[in-house]
């Protein structure tokens, strides 16, 4: 995308009549991969996610704007200005750099509390799919964008920095979504409204390379957001190519826009998902405690169907570096010391020796008979919690 364009229908006939360039304050290299995404800032302006280029495609001989030979290096690169950044366009037309360190953040949204959230795509410097809480001035781990930081030493190659130095600079993802199992190519998050069932204020994230939508449950621990992910929809009639998501004004219907370019399976069009008023029996949210995890359900469960042996927890970590994606490292099975029921709708898992910097995969056995008091089976049985901060 070369510019932020304001489009108007001046005669209300359903067709665009006016096109105005609001800003084109970033470069264009001509590479196919430099996709952009926007979201309103709530004050009449916009946040603009400006993606990096890919080594799989060339750049123009003559680019738009300043060119950086240093920024051209790497698998995903930032050879022209502000690639790999989130920019801010204010209502009075002032454009400023907001945050750096992104690869292909093909999804950005503002929640009702004013928080800005962005997904990114697994690849170089992204071991798996992340969801980031965006704050001004932060660096989010993909080093190529640093060449355009006004404070960056001219000519210094960020790709030659030690991994430990990059790791110390970066802001960690609030939630890591395991690749393949939960999301392969995350796109635009959408916050669930109160009229769309029991998951109000949580985030739904379509998958551009899968037939699913992920559900993210966030909480604040020691002042920072972290949380868990699970499936919202998974192989139940969705097309691939989930790219954009928006709720209707009444909050009862979600529209998902599908588009696939290049390597994905064909999946064009729109999907309409309407809430019909029946709440599923599912885990409403997963919260961290000092000793483990609390699983709160949408309905009270049948205590006779609860079996401690049905619950298991394993953990692992990821390492972001120059290679494309990354495996789950330092895998281990965690010891669940007890499984307790609380207030009829909450299960308390006590887990030995919780550790920050790991992803905890909570699994309820596929053979579990856990059901609601009315006999409804459990919708999801796998949940991944990104533990950045321990409860103290």
Contacts within 8 Å (CB) and 24+ apart, 270-277: 271/238, 271/239, 271/242, 273/233, 275/195, 275/196, 275/197
261 and 229, same structural domain? yes
Any idea which residue has 């449950």 for tokens?
A: 217
Per-residue pLDDT reduced to its tens digit, 103-130: 999 999 999 999 999 999 999 999 999 9
Q: How confident is the model at residue 308 (pLDDT cuts 50, 70, 90)?
A: very high
208 and 108, same structural domain? yes
Higher-pLDDT residue of 230 and 61 is 230
Say yes or no to pLDDT of 144 above 90.
yes
Q: What is the pLDDT of residue 268?
A: 85
Establish if 330 belongs to a structural domain: yes
Say yes or no to pLDDT of 34 above 80.
yes
The CATH number given to whatever domain includes residue 340 is 2.60.40.1220
Domain boundary among 274, 301, 322: 274
| Rg (alpha carbons) of the chain, rounded to whole number | 22
Q: What is the pLDDT of residue 102?
A: 98
Establish if 162 belongs to a structural domain: yes
287 and 266, same structural domain? no
296 and 166, same structural domain? no
124 and 8, same structural domain? yes
Q: Return the minimum-mean-pLDDT range out of 138-147, 264-273, 319-328, 354-363.
A: 264-273
Establish if 70 belongs to a structural domain: yes
The CATH number given to whatever domain includes residue 76 is 2.120.10.30
294 and 182, same structural domain? no
96 and 76, same structural domain? yes
Q: How confident is the model at residue 192 (pLDDT cuts 50, 70, 90)?
A: very high
Domain boundary among 228, 248, 274: 274
Per-residue pLDDT reduced to its tens digit, 275-285: 999 999 999 99
319 and 187, same structural domain? no
Q: How confident is the model at residue 33 (pLDDT cuts 50, 70, 90)?
A: confident
Per-residue pLDDT reduced to its tens digit, 74-84: 999 999 999 99
User: What domain range includes position 380?
Assistant: 283-387
Say yes or no to pLDDT of 223 above 90.
yes
Q: What is the pLDDT of residue 57?
A: 86
Q: Cα–Cα distance between 113 and 191 in angstroms, integer?
A: 11
Total domains present in the chain: 2
Q: What is the DSSP letter of 247?
A: E
The HSE-up count of residue 312 (CA atoms within 13 Å, CB side) is: 11
Establish if 392 belongs to a structural domain: no
Percent of all residues in the chain with a pLDDT value above 70, rounded to a whole number:
98
């Amino acid at each position: 995308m070369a510019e932020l364009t304001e489009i108007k229908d001046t005669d209300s006939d359903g067709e665009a009549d006016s096109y105005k360039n609001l800003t084109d304050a970033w470069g264009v290299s001509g590479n196919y991969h430099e996709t952009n995404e926007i979201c309103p800032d709530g004050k009449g302006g916009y946040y603009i996610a400006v993606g990096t280029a890919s080594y799989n495609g060339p750049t123009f001989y003559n680019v738009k704007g300043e060119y950086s030979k240093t920024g051209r290096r790497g698998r995903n690169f930032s050879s022209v200005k502000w690639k790999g950044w989130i920019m801010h366009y204010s209502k009075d037309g002032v454009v400023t750099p907001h945050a750096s360190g992104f690869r292909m953040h093909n999804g950005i949204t503002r929640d009702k509390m004013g928080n800005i959230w962005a997904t990114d795509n697994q690849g170089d410097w992204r071991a798996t799919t992340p969801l980031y809480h965006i704050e001004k001035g932060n660096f989010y781990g993909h080093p190529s964008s640093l060449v355009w930081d006004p404070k960056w030493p001219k000519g210094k190659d960020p790709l030659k920095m030690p991994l430990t130095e990059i790791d110390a600079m970066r802001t960690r993802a609030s939630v890591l979504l395991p690749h393949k199992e939960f999301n392969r190519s995350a796109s635009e998050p959408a916050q669930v409204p109160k009229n769309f069932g029991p998951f109000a204020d949580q985030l739904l994230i379509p998958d551009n390379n899968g037939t699913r939508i992920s559900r993210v449950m966030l909480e604040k621990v020691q002042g920072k957001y972290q949380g868990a992910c699970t499936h919202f929809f998974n192989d139940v009639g969705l097309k691939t190519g989930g790219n954009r998501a928006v709720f209707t004004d009444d909050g009862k219907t979600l529209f998902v826009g599908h588009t696939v370019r290049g390597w994905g399976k064909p999946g064009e069009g729109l999907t309409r998902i309407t809430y019909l008023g029946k709440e599923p029996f599912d885990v409403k949210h997963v919260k961290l405690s000092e000793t483990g995890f609390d699983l709160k359900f949408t309905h009270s469960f049948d205590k006779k169907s609860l079996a401690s042996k049905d619950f298991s927890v394993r953990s692992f970590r990821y390492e972001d570096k120059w290679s494309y994606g990354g495996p789950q490292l330092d895998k281990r099975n965690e010891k669940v010391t007890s499984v307790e029921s609380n207030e009829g709708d909450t299960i308390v898992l006590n887990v030995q020796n919780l550790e920050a910097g790991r992803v905890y995969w909570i699994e309820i056995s596929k053979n579990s008979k856990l059901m609601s008091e009315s006999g409804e089976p459990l919708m999801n049985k796998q949940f991944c919690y990104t533990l950045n901060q321990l409860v103290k």
